[in-house]
Structure 1
């Protein structure tokens, strides 16, 4: 009889031990699953925050970089630089949904989103010109702020230029590029038809930008 009861006790003890182990194993798996789920959630949150931060960070406009390769690269760069103001004017003309304002006999055209603030216009100019020259270019525009929208008046004066590999001389130094352009415009437009540029690398971006533009033709745009 005692032997029979002994087997019963051993059986009950075995069941209790097995149940405890199963419970501990189940709880362990549950905890592990919860930890994994929380880890994935934290990782997803971190990625979302990182993406949001990148989207909020404003894009920095920088000057062109590869000008050392050939004279043609420099010619293309200077031609683009000399037409940045016309790019802004054309953007206003081409802005089909833009409004028109009239004041003191002057017509102002609304600029599209890419040029709808002073900072954006100067940032575009700064792709080619130094900060000081970019600001001077902007200050010589005829602009008006209307209901938080930037408008520009298109003048009746322009400065057509001819910059080609045929009339351009380039001198490359260690930290700068000096460019001289002869016969940059028609004799009927100016008696002084020579322009000289000094291109230097920006300290932060290490990209070239125009630090100075010497010559009387079109110089009033920078004064």
Structure 2
């Protein structure tokens, strides 16, 4: 039985005491530098600035847990950056449940050719996203919209829809595929349960006219742990 003040991983942590100043945010390890150069190029310092936001105000405002600070690059930023390999040139990308900008802001930094719409229902998260987008100078290519995914149907015609840690595929598909009115694709970041989720979502995928469903690993050769995505084509 848990004692008051404890979570499943032990005593709860006061995030305000754990968050670090942006300039003290973790930097990529020697092993990660190749991936950083590959995905961000001359925008690597902007990506570092973003990590500074995650490690400070992102932790303080509860967008990420304090225990994530040491693995912001490996588990979050580079994990999301690999998704850039799955997105066509010049695409309009809708990132659903954008939260801390993962993968939305990461893709905007990695791919200057993309136009991004970050869809997030919680006001406090939208406020944080707006602040970070402005600080990183991404306003011309990134819009933050406070809305639920279903409210955006008919308001946007995305080429690609992304989602990370939002919900299982059988629930995610009805929220995302309707945002693509022509030809496009859902790229959902998933873990080891990807194949099982596809199996459980087969009926709903067909209902929403999804096809060419496949699991891919991205970032091989650059990431120690490649990123797993489920891709579902539309149109």
If the length of structure 1 is used for normalisation, what is the TM-score?
0.23
If the length of structure 2 is used for normalisation, what is the TM-score?
0.22
Between structure 1 and structure 2, the one with the greater Rg is 1
